[in-house]
Amino acid sequence: MGVRALQAASAVVVTLVLVAAVVWAARAWNASRVPARYDATELGPVDLGGAPPVHHHDGAAVDGVSVAALRERGTSDVRFTLTAAHATVRLPSRRVLDGLAFDGRIPGPELRVRQGDVVEVTLVNRDIRDGVSIHWHGVDVPNGEDGVAGMTQDAVPVGGRFTYRFRAEDAGTYWYHSHQRSADEVRRGLFGALVVEPRDPPPGEDLVVAAHSFGGPVALLPSGGRMHRRVAPGTPVRLRLLNADDHVHEFGLGGTAFRVVGIDGRELEAPEVVRAQTLAVPAGGRYDVAFAMPRSPVTLAANGSSDRISLGDGEATVDFSRMLDLTTYRARAPAVPTRFDRTFRIELGRKLGFFHGGVKLGRQWSINGKIHPHMPMLMVAEGEVDRIVFVNRSGSPHPMHLHGHHMLVLARNGRPVTTPWLVDSLDIRSGEQWDVAFRTDNPGIWMLHCHNLPHAAKGLVTHLAYEGVHTPYRMGTGSGNEPE
């Protein structure tokens, strides 16, 4: 072949490659678009976890039920109102936040209720134009009380209200936050702690400490700065550590040995004592630690923050060098299932493509090789024990949060954990595999998403849906509902 012919041939090849690339990009872009109003259960394929679709025992398909019908019906024992509004809040550390607040406070009021109570909370939106909602993170509420805009309700508009009701069944530490434009609204302050106290609360000190960064340095709230509290030696102390941020935070407790007595609103039985250990609490997660106040001071800190919470006189040094590995922590083991009705594999990754019709080609978050909204939706029936195998190949950690259920942690990287524990938020780091089990005992349509909320806003979201449940609510820019 002559030089001319060679040049012509390569020009043809280059043209063909370019055309193919343009065709691919046009198709990928087109497929990435989402309607202005859409039913979040209808966009992606259904994943049945290796089991056949479910039918009633008599062979008929499951009757349809709307999420709007799945509400708490008991009579309320305790009532609160939370008003969401813009606020300028000065933390005790002097830091001034131009934020969004419940009842003018950041974090919002700490709600304390008794185990067994039916809790009623009325949300009022004073002036937040994007709308608001409240999700009860970690409380396995009836689906219609879950507070997800566009899935279980419409976002509450300015001047509107919505009343939530749920039974506080398990004593422990929870939190609440807006689930409308959550990446923005939670960062700016629309969150607070919820504590379910046991029926007979034990005596002693009981403190919630929340880590949140408002997009800047992390603060230990509600005090912020350096807080001191007098506690008499011998007093039982329970610290409830809440990570209300987008990234894992390492909490260190200096000056005392302690036990991990609760995780994500579930008590651990007979937990072992550990000393000078750092706890890595995933975004959205809560770890409760307990100890008897020694004669010398005890100090709580978070790695990377100058804030300190000190009990007793003075401050203890906090050593962040020894991380507690929960996979080898010892406590009394709960009953552990060995057979599963379904096994779902959720592989977190990245894939070149477009996001929601945007023009920027980039590496998007993916689940099982699909970019939102084409991620598979997990489909289950009531009364099962199912398993999820999370695999992370994305290069970034993802704190995965399942609504409405607790997941029993079984194994990391194929190795069974010493004492399985229950979570609603689990950090899946890159390169890791985690096996968890859960019971399908709470019908509805539930979000399963990354609690690094900017990741969720960029599509790291899927759903767990019970067969026969549907939603009348719509998401999308034209619906006013944008849960992430």
The residue ranges that bind ligand C2O (CB under 6 A) are 135, 137, 177, 179, 284, 401, 403, 447, 449, 451
Name the segment binding Cu ion (CB under 5 A); options: 44-52, 53-61, 280-288, 460-468.
Answer: 460-468
* 398 binds Cu ion per the rule CB under 5 A: yes
Looking at the Cβ atoms of 137 and 398, the one nearer to ligand C2O is 137
Q: Which two tokens stand for residue 3?
A: 């030089």
Q: Residue 201 CB, nearest distance to Cu ion (Å)? A: 36
Looking at the Cβ atoms of 259 and 451, the one nearer to ligand C2O is 451
Looking at the Cβ atoms of 135 and 405, the one nearer to ligand C2O is 135
Binding string, residues 341-380; x marks residues near Cu ion by CB under 5 A: ----------------------------------------
Q: Which two tokens stand for residue 317?
A: 């040094």
Q: Residue 355 CB, nearest distance to Cu ion (Å)? A: 14
Compute the distance between CA of residue 371 and CA of residue 363 in angstroms, rounded to an integer. 10
C-alpha closest to that of 112 among 11, 198, 224, 43: 198
Contact partner, 370, from ligand C2O, Cu ion, none, Cβ < 5-8 Å per class? none
Looking at the Cβ atoms of 82 and 388, the one nearer to Cu ion is 388
Contact partner, 342, from ligand C2O, Cu ion, none, Cβ < 5-8 Å per class? none
Taking 3-state DSSP, the helix, strand and coil percentages for the chain, each rounded to the nearest 5, stand at 10, 40, 50
Looking at the Cβ atoms of 417 and 460, the one nearer to ligand C2O is 460
Looking at the Cβ atoms of 82 and 248, the one nearer to Cu ion is 248
Q: Which two tokens stand for residue 439?
A: 């019971």
Compute the distance between CA of residue 352 and CA of residue 87 in angstroms, rounded to an integer. 40
Indicate the burial class of 86 (C-beta count within 10 angstroms; 0-12, 13-18, 19 or more): middle
Q: Which two tokens stand for residue 76?
A: 């309320």
Compute the distance between CA of residue 244 and CA of residue 426 in angstroms, rounded to an integer. 14
Q: Residue 278 CB, nearest distance to Cu ion (Å)? A: 22
Looking at the Cβ atoms of 135 and 308, the one nearer to ligand C2O is 135
Q: Residue 40 CB, nearest distance to ligand C2O (Å)? A: 13
Q: Residue 167 CB, nearest distance to ligand C2O (Å)? A: 19
Contact partner, 284, from ligand C2O, Cu ion, none, Cβ < 5-8 Å per class? ligand C2O
Compute the distance between CA of residue 386 and CA of residue 380 in angstroms, rounded to an integer. 8
Site of tokens 């997660």: 285
Altogether, the residues listed in the chain come to a count of 484
Q: Residue 450 CB, nearest distance to Cu ion (Å)? A: 3
Phi (first) and psi of residue 151, to 5 degrees: -125, -50
Q: Residue 346 CB, nearest distance to ligand C2O (Å)? A: 16
Containing H/E element for 6? helix 3-32
The answer to whether the peptide bond before residue 483 is cis (omega within 30 degrees of 0) is no
Q: Residue 134 CB, nearest distance to ligand C2O (Å)? A: 10
Q: Which residue number has the CB closest to ligand C2O?
A: 137
Compute the distance between CA of residue 208 and CA of residue 202 in angstroms, rounded to an integer. 16
* 187 binds Cu ion per the rule CB under 5 A: no
Q: Residue 426 CB, nearest distance to ligand C2O (Å)? A: 13
Compute the distance between CA of residue 62 and CA of residue 55 in angstroms, rounded to an integer. 6
Contact partner, 451, from ligand C2O, Cu ion, none, Cβ < 5-8 Å per class? ligand C2O
Site of tokens 């608001």: 132
Contact partner, 187, from Cu ion, ligand C2O, none, Cβ < 5-8 Å per class? none
Phi (first) and psi of residue 436, to 5 degrees: -130, 160
Question: For 67, which DSSP code?
Answer: G
Question: Using CB under 5 A as the criterion, which residues of the chain lie in contact with Cu ion when the complex forms?
Answer: 398, 450, 452, 455, 460
